Amino acid sequence: MAHSKMLNVALIGQGFMGRAHSNAWGQVGRFFNPPLMPVLHTTCGLEAELLAFAARWGWQHATADWKEAISDPEVDLVDIASPNNWHAPMALAALGAGKAVACEKPIAGTLTEARQMAAKARATKRPTFVWYNYRRAPAAALAHLLVRQGRLGEIRHVRAHYLQDWATESVPLAWRFQKDQAGSGAHGDLNAHIVDLTRFVTGQEITEICGAIAETFIKERALQAGDVAGGLGSGLKKGARKGKVTVDDTLLFLARFSGGAVASFEAARQATGNQNRNGFEIDGTKGSVRFDFERMNELEFYDATSPREIQGWTNIMCTHGGSHPYVDAWWPDAHLIGYEHCFANEAYDICRVLGGKKPIVPLPDFEDAYQTQRVLEAALISARTKKWVPLAKVK
């Protein structure tokens, strides 16, 4: 790397995730003591927004050419926060240039691209990371630790859901509603998170998709003013007022884990009353855990090994530094952390790994994220064919 104590970061993307990542890299050195200090070296995005974005978030350099950012010899880590269809070409180029790479989820728009990215990482032996940020919620990390300690016993049931309600009829067509840019809809955006979370917490792999159903409720969406004039990919005609939605609004599937547990997964963008209800329940022979990101500082735990007369769900406030992962860097007990802290926690773990230390909890790399992508692909195949799909056949 260019500097022994510094980590020069180049960020590609200046949207919602670009802001989240910028904030995270800027917070690491203020709250943690990483072995490598991240430097906001270069930001890359749309030319019209470059200078204002760089100034607001503290990036030292700005460019509209992502290839220029990747090839810069001073850059150590390339952080990709672009739309999904750009993940593969950017990541492959960055690995080819000898950079470490952090990429937003899902790892790619297609399984083929995800496979190529994982293979390139193996071939170049460069460190890779994927922003499955919900692993870094202290409560989710505690659930992972409880399973590792054997507190749940043999896991038998997994139920996971990720429900939002923002994609109403009034929302115009954007890249998230187009398959050629997003890969899939609620499935790739939301199911990706809960597949990763449950694999992470249980420590097991999904071996079979036992049935799936997908639905697109809003078939067409209005184009935004600029798109009406020029068209927005996917074969949209110039001057069109509406465009076809080519991804799912919701996708549900059943699955089996390698340890024998049965599971259900549900993702929806139009589940009225659910703003960001990302949650799971995992039941074992000795205990169970429940997590809901809308109450992200809390984990519910049921200890079935205690005397029957006092058994019941315990609500754990996961804000005690020294007992709960990451929290000792933030605030006193029950002063709560939020969504943005999950990104800062992950940025810290990336700095730890690149600095030769272990992460607080495991980080997903390209190979790990490829396994999640295989599950997503198998569910899409099951929804399309109305058949069970063994993961062994999805490579």
Q: List b or e across 297-313, with b for residues whose CB sees 16 or more CB atoms inside 10 angstroms.
A: bbbbbbbeeeeeeeeee
- Residue 236: pLDDT band (50, 70, 90) is low
Grade residue 70 by pLDDT with cuts at 50, 70 and 90: very high
Q: Which residues does 243 contact at the CB level (< 8 Å), separation at least 6?
A: 173, 178, 220, 221, 223, 227, 232, 234, 236
Smallest CA-to-CA distance from 115 within 374, 379, 388, 392 is with 374
pLDDT computed for residue 239 by the predictor? 60
pTM of this structure: 0.93
And the tokens for 335?
């002063």
| Residue 229 pLDDT level (bands cut at 50, 70, 90) | very low
Q: What is the mean pLDDT of the chain?
A: 95
pLDDT confidence tier of residue 183, bands split at 50, 70 and 90: confident
> What token pair was written down for 355?
């600095």
pLDDT at residue 3 greater than cutoff 70: no
Residue 166, pLDDT score: 96
Identify whether the C-beta of residue 172 lies closer than 8 Å to the C-beta of residue 224. Answer: yes
Pick the CATH number of 6-133 from 3.30.565.10, 3.40.630.30, 3.40.640.10, 3.40.50.720: 3.40.50.720
Could you tell me which residues come within 8 angstroms of residue 295 by beta carbon, excluding any fewer than 6 positions away?
none
Which DSSP string corresponds to 53-85?
HHHHHT-SEEES-HHHHHH-TT--EEEE-S-GG
Neighbours of 123 (CB within 10 A): 10
Question: Which of 5-14, 113-122, 232-241, 300-309 shows the lowest mean pLDDT across its residues?
Answer: 232-241
Q: Which residues contact 30 (CB under 8 A, 6 or more apart)?
A: none
Cite the residue boundaries of each domain of the chain with CATH code 3.40.50.720. Answer: 6-133
Asked whether residue 226 carries a pLDDT value surpassing 70, the answer given is: no
Percentage of the chain beyond pLDDT 90 is 92
Phi/psi of residue 323, nearest 5 degrees: -105, -35
Residue 282: pLDDT band with limits 50, 70, 90:
very high
Residue 325: name the closest of 157, 215, 200 by CA. Answer: 200
Q: What's the distance, CA 212 to chain centroid?
A: 22
Predicted confidence band at 2 (pLDDT cuts at 50, 70, 90)?
Answer: very low
Where are the CATH 3.30.360.10 domain residues in the chain? 137-335+365-385
- Rounded Cα–Cα distance for residues 27 and 177 (Å): 32
Q: Which two tokens stand for residue 98?
A: 């000898």
pLDDT of 15 > 80? The answer is: yes
Rounded mean pLDDT, 57-67: 97
From 3.30.360.10, 3.20.20.240, 1.10.3720.10, 3.40.50.450, which CATH number describes the 137-335+365-385 domain? 3.30.360.10
